[in-house]
A = this chain, B = another copy of it.
Amino acid sequence: MIMRPSGRAPDQLRTVILETGVSRHAEGSCIAKFGDTHVLCTASVEEKVPPFLRNTGKGWVTAEYGMLPRSTHTRTDREAAKGKQSGRTHEIQRLIGRSLRSVTDLAAMGERQIKIDCDVLQADGGTRTASITGAFVALHLAFQRLVRLELLKAIPLTDHVAAISCGIYEGVAVLDLDYPEDSNAQADANFVMTGTGGIVEIQGTAEERPFSRTQFLELTDLAEAGIRQLVEAQKKALGLS
């Protein structure tokens, strides 16, 4: 049996903390901590939509992602100073946006936009999955506020959405890779799933060598179990359980 660097069992998540109400100004906010990975997620409500939705009665949810320069082991150059966002940043923020929209009833939310900002304060692997999991909480809180203000009758979310990574580390399928595992995994995969077990997004990548279909199914099993725990944590953070 392998020993994970953190000593966790193969199917064990890191300690997950979803702390809400962390921003004085945002309409919804959450710091999502997956072990040493900490992401600040804020939701900002704007009473106007992008041009392609004007006068359709529909709303929009979008996301932006960033890493503080010293969230990483060695300092990463600031994207604002370089004057452009990396391909990786674009990839992740598009993924967060799609994930959230998959459980949002855009027609029911009215002609307004909610912008989610996911800023990584500290990184130790899995920043995109922590971002999605925390972003859902921030989004839910922003909708709660709109309901409280009687701008919406009900929260226009059809389900929960959360995300987790898995990978093949020293030949074994493991859940929720931290940085030391992530940098040495044979393959890793990110799963975005709903509270009722629907798959929203799967991204699997062989790093060292291709993986087999059987291995991929093992990862899927791990992910399903992991997502169930994350959804429980979301419910608790939101006072829904």
Contacts and interface: CB of A to CB of B under 8 A. Distances in A.
Given A81-B64, A94-B87, A194-B210, A25 B71 contact: yes
Contacts of A115: 69, 75
Interface stretch (A125-133, A212-220, A233-241): A212-220
Interface in A56-74: 64, 66, 68-74
Interface in A83-122: 83-91, 93-94, 98, 102, 115, 117, 119, 121-122
Contacts of A94: 87-88, 91
Contact of A78 (B29, B83, B117, B121): B117
A42 interface: yes
Query: Size band of the A side of the interface?
Result: 35 or more
A71 B86 CA distance: 23
B210 A199 contact: yes
A124 interface: yes
Interface stretch (A4-12, A13-21, A146-154, A200-208): A200-208
A42 B64 contact: no
A213 B23 CA distance: 37
Contacts of A180: none
A209 B198 contact: yes
A189 interface: yes
A72 to B, nearest CB: 6
B203 A203 contact: yes
A91 B87 contact: yes
